Structure 1
Amino acid sequence: MMAVALVLSAVPLGAETLILGTTQVPRHFNGAIQSGIATMMPTAQIFASPLRYEDDWTPRPYLAQSWEVAEDQLSVTLHLTPDATFHDGMPITSADVAFSIRTIRDNHPFASMLAPVTSVSTPDPLTAIIHLAHPHPALLLAMSPALMPILPEHIYGGPDLADNPANLKPVGSGPFRFVEYRQGDHYRLERNPDFFLPDAPRLDGLIVKIFSDPMTMLLSLESGEIDMILLVSGVHDIQRLQAIPGMQVSDAGHEAIGPLNWIAFNMGKPPFDDVRVRQAIGFGIDKRYILDQMMAGLARDALGPIAPGSPFADAGIEPYTYDPVRAADLLDAAGYPVGADGLRFTARMDFIPGVPEQGRNVAEYMKSQLAPLGIALELRSAPDFPTWAQRIATHDFDITQDNVFNWGDPVIGVHRTYLSSNIREGVIWSNTQRYSDAEVDDLLARAATEPDPEERAALYARFQHIVVEEAPILFINELPLYTAARAEVTGLPQSIWGAISPYLTLDREP
Structure 2
Amino acid sequence: MLALLLSFALVAVACGSDDDDASDDSSSSASTSSSADEPAEDDDESTADMSDQAEEAENSDAGDSGAVDTGPVAGGTMLIQSTQVPRHLNGTVQSGYATAVPGTQLNASPLLFDENFQPQPYLAESWEIADDGLSVTLNLVQGAVFHDGEAITSEDVKFSMETSKANHPFKTMFAAVDTIDTPDDHTVVINLSEPHPAILLAMSPGLLPVIPEHVYNDGQEIKEHPCNAGTDCFVGSGPFTLAEYEAGSIIRLEAFEDFFIPERPYLDEIIIEIVPDPATIVLGLENGDTDLALPNGAANVVRLQDDENVIVTADGHAAVGPIQWLEFNLADEDLSNVEVRRAIADAVDRQFLADVIDQGTTFPATTGIHPGSPFHNPDTEHYGAGVEAAQQRLADAGIDPSSISFAVDYIPPAQLAYAEYIVQVLGDIGFDAELNTVPDFPSWATRVAGGEHQMTINNVWNWGDPVIGVHRTYLSTNNVGVIWTNNTGYNNADVDALLAQAGAEYDFDTRVDLYGQAQEIISQDVPIVYLTTPPFWQAFQPRVQNPPIGIWGQLGPMHEVWLAE
The TM-score, its normalising length taken from structure 1, stands at 0.93
* 1:196 has 2:251 as partner: no
Moved more, 492-501 or 52-61: 52-61
SS at match of 1:475: strand
- Give 1:372 shift: 2.4
Letter of the 2:407 partner, please give it. Answer: R
Mapping 1:107-118, distance limit 5 Å: 107-118=167-178
Q: Bigger relative contact order, structure 1 or 2, given CA contacts below 8 A and separation 6+? A: 2
Is the deviation greater in 217-226 or in 126-135?
Answer: 217-226
1:323 aligns with 2:386: yes
- Select which of 71, 85, 100 maps to 1:40: 100
Quick check: 1:392 aligned with 2:440? Answer: no
Give 1:247's match in structure 2, choosing from 306, 310, 315. 310
Corresponding position: 1:292 with 2:352: no
Residues 394-418 of structure 1 deviation map (CA, whole Å, 9 limit, x = unaligned) = 1121111010000000000000000
Q: 2:120 aligns with which of 60, 81, 91?
A: 60
The answer to whether the 8 Å contact 1:423/1:430 transfers is yes
Q: Is 1:21 aligned to residue 76 of structure 2?
A: no
Q: Is the 8 A contact 1:285 1:370 kept in 2?
A: no
Structure 2 residue ranges without an equivalent (≥5): 1-73
Q: Distance in 1 between matches of 2:276 and 2:310?
A: 23
Match of 1:392, SS?
helix
Q: By how many angstroms is 1:215 displaced?
A: 1.4
- Match of 1:367, SS? helix
The 5-angstrom pairing of residues 211-360 of structure 1 reads 211-230=275-294, 232-338=295-401, 343-355=402-414, 359-360=415-416
The reply to whether residue 165 of structure 1 matches residue 221 of structure 2 is no
Do the aligned partners of 1:26 and 1:38 also contact (CA within 8 Å) in 2?
yes
AA matched with 2:382: P
Q: Which shows bigger deviation, 289-298 or 493-502?
A: 289-298
Residues 93 and 167, structure 2, Cα contact 8 Å, conserved in 1: yes
Q: SS at the partner of 1:383?
A: coil
1:367-419 Cα offsets, whole Å, 9 max, x none, are 22221221122112332222221111111211110100000000000000001
Partner of 1:508: 563
The alignment status of 1:486 with 2:507, answered yes or no, reads: no
Shift of 1:219: 1.7
CA distance in structure 1 between the partners assigned to 2:439 and 2:303 by the alignment: 28
Query: For 1:398 and 1:64, how far apart are their aligned partners in 2?
Result: 47
> CA–CA distance in 2 between the matches of 1:386 and 1:213?
22
Deviation at 1:331, TM superposition (A): 2.5
- Return the alpha-carbon distance in structure 1 between the equivalents of residues 282 and 445 of structure 2: 28
Query: 1:106 and 1:332 mapped to 2: Cα distance?
Result: 52
Structure 2 counterpart of 1:207, one-letter code: I
> Which residue does 2:421 correspond to in 1?
365
Q: Which of 417, 432, 437 is the aligned partner of 2:487? A: 432
Deviation at 1:198, TM superposition (A): 1.6
Tell me the alpha carbon deviations over residues 199-234 of structure 1, each in whole angstroms, 9 at most, x when there is no partner: 21111111111111211221222223322103x452
CA distance in 2: counterparts of 1:353 and 1:506, whole angstroms: 36
Amino acid at match of 2:229: L
Mapped pair 1:451 → 2:506 = yes
Q: What is the alpha-carbon distance in structure 2 between the residues aligned to residue 74 and residue 43 of structure 1? A: 30
Of 465, 487, 492, the residue aligned with 2:520 is 465
Of 250, 269, 272, which aligns to 1:205? Answer: 269
* Cα shift readout 1:283-326 (whole Å, capped 9, x = no counterpart): 11222221233223321211101100111111212311232233
SS at structure 2 position matched to 1:435? coil
1: CA distance between counterparts of 2:304 and 2:196? Answer: 42
Name the structure 1 match of 2:552: 497
Q: CA deviation at 1:15?
A: 6.2
Deviations 1:179-208 (A, max 9, x none): 121111111111111111122111111111
Query: CA separation in 1, counterparts of 2:440 and 2:286?
Result: 29
Residue 311 of structure 1: SS of its match in structure 2?
Answer: coil
Q: Give the CA deviation at 1:350.
A: 1.1
Distance in 1, matches of 2:286 and 2:447, equals 39
CA distance in 2 between counterparts of 1:112 and 1:472 reads: 22
The partner residue of 1:96 within 149, 153, 156 is 156
Q: Which runs of 4+ in 1 moved over 3 A?
A: 332-336
> What do the CA deviations read for 1:56-115 (whole angstroms, capped 9, x no partner)?
211110000111111111101111101000001000000111111111111110000110
CA contact (8 A) 1:233 1:479 kept: no
Deviation per CA, 1:433-481: give whole Å up to 9, x if none. 1111111111111111011111111110110011111111000111121
SS in 2 for 1:42: helix
Give, as a single letter, the amino acid of the residue that structure 2 aligns with 1:367.
Answer: V
Number of residue equivalences? 488
Say which SS state the counterpart of residue 262 (structure 1) adopts: strand
Determine helix, strand or coil for the equivalent of 1:504: coil
Instruction: Name 1:145's counterpart in structure 2.
Output: 205
Q: TM-score, normalised by structure 2?
A: 0.84
Which of 414, 426, 431 aligns to 2:470? It is 414
1:462 aligned partner, one-letter code: Q
Change (3 A) 1:452 1:54: closer
Per-residue deviation at 1:240? 0.6
RMSD (CA atoms)? 1.5
* Amino acid in structure 1 at the alignment position of 2:279: M
Extract unaligned runs of 5+ from structure 1: 1-13
* SS of equivalent to 2:157: helix
Tell whether 2:188 aligns with 1:128: yes
SS in 1 for 2:204: coil
3-state SS of 2:103 partner? helix
Closer, same or farther in 2 for the Cα pair 1:233/1:332, shift >3 Å? Answer: farther
Q: Which moved more, 1:236-245 or 1:218-227?
A: 218-227
**1:9 alignment partner in structure 2:** none
Distance 2:413 2:369 in 1: 25
Matched, 1:404 2:460: yes
Of 295-304 and 22-31, more deviation after overlay is shown by 295-304
Q: Distance in 2 between matches of 1:208 and 1:307?
A: 29
Q: CA deviation at 1:241?
A: 0.7
Which region of structure 1 is more displaced relative to structure 2, 449-458 or 322-331?
322-331
- 8 Å CA contact retained: 1:87, 1:192: yes
Corresponding residue for residue 382 of structure 1: 438
CA distances 1:122-161 after superposition (whole Å, capped 9, x unpaired): 0001101000011111111111000011111001113421
